[in-house]
Structure 1
Amino acid sequence: MPTLLDTRIENRHRVQPNHANNYQTAHGGNVMKWMDEDGAMSAMRFAGNSCVTASVDKLDFKRPIPVGDTVLVKAFVYDTGRTSVRVWIRTYREDPRTGKTELTTESDFVFVAVEDGTPVEVPDLTVESERGEELHQYALEQTSD
């Protein structure tokens, strides 16, 4: 049975000029796409099946990500339903020269596990470590608003 820490995904995407808006910062649609793709990978790792996006909650852009910077996406599964998987996703801007990061976006995505287009059950989530419990509690607190 997968644990919360087994579902952790960390991925980077370089912001190129074709990803930018009129202000030469990452277009919000591109950031959301990267969050959705990386969140789906976390959900699939947990569910053991393909997963499709069912909903996105509270997607607020806190600061821009300039062209040339890296988008760092971190995701993990923090809750489940019968066929659904809740993934907490945080996005950072990262300076590729220094590694310095700043939080830009946080969100809660819900994915549904599917097989041949039909929803299938997912396993129960296990939290086995102190770090896993810290992440689990953080995500639950952020989504309880």
Structure 2
Amino acid sequence: MPSLMETYIENREMVQPNHANNLDTVHGGNVMKWMDEVGAMSAMRFAGKACVTARVNEMDFRRPILVGDTAVIEAYVYDAGETSVHVHLRAFRENPRTREREPTTESYFVYVGIDESGDPSPVPDLVVDSEEGKRRRREAVEGLDA
């Protein structure tokens, strides 16, 4: 059974002008796409099989990410059902020179494990066996309740 910390993935995207709107900030759709891709990687790492996006909780865009910033996306599985994989996702803006980082976007995505026919397929139970994993799971669950 996979542990929460084994599902942790962090990815970076350099925000270029082609990612931006007329205010030189990244389009929210690009942030959502990057979050979905990293979330799917985390879900598949956990499930050991293909996973598809089933639901996106509300997306909270708290501050912009500017052209020239690095968008940092982090994801980890915090819960699982019979076929569903629940992933906590956060995006940050990071200055590539100073490494100053601020949170920008947060959401919870649900993926479903699928078999070769594309039908829902069982996923393993989640193990939370470290203090860091327990902290991250608590953080995700508390964020849902907020």
TM-score range, shorter chain: over 0.9
Tell me the alpha carbon deviations over residues 82-129 of structure 1, each in whole angstroms, 9 at most, x when there is no partner: 100000001000000111100001100000011221110000000000
Report the residue type matching 2:56 in the other structure. Answer: V
Q: Following the alignment from structure 2 to structure 1, what is the Cα–Cα distance between the partners of residues 120 and 99? A: 40
- So what's the TM-score if we normalise by structure 1? 0.98
Tell me the alpha carbon deviations over residues 26-74 of structure 1, each in whole angstroms, 9 at most, x when there is no partner: 0000000000000000000000001100011120100000001000001
- Match status 1:143 vs 2:144: yes
RMSD over aligned CA atoms reads 0.6
Q: Following the alignment from structure 1 to structure 2, what is the Cα–Cα distance between the partners of residues 47 and 119? A: 12
Deviation of the 1:144 alpha carbon? 2.1
Aligned twin of 1:134:
135
Q: Following the alignment from structure 2 to structure 1, what is the Cα–Cα distance between the partners of residues 123 and 115? A: 11
Q: Which runs of 5+ in 2 are unaligned?
A: none
**Structure 1 stretches (4+) deviating beyond 2 angstroms?**
none
- Match status 1:123 vs 2:101: no
Aligned twin of 1:31:
31
Q: Following the alignment from structure 2 to structure 1, what is the Cα–Cα distance between the partners of residues 85 and 2? A: 12
- So what's the TM-score if we normalise by structure 2? 0.98
Aligned-pair identity (%): 60
| DSSP 3-state at the match of 2:12 | strand
How many residue pairs get aligned? The number is 145
Q: Which runs of 5+ in 1 are unaligned?
A: none
Q: Following the alignment from structure 1 to structure 2, what is the Cα–Cα distance between the partners of residues 6 and 51? A: 17
| DSSP 3-state at the match of 2:114 | strand
Q: Following the alignment from structure 2 to structure 1, what is the Cα–Cα distance between the partners of residues 79 and 144? A: 11
Report the residue type matching 1:84 in the other structure. Answer: S
| DSSP 3-state at the match of 2:58 | strand
Aligned twin of 2:69:
69
Q: Following the alignment from structure 2 to structure 1, what is the Cα–Cα distance between the partners of residues 100 and 51? A: 32
Q: Equivalences for 1:11-90 in 2 at 5 Å? A: 11-90=11-90
Aligned twin of 1:106:
106
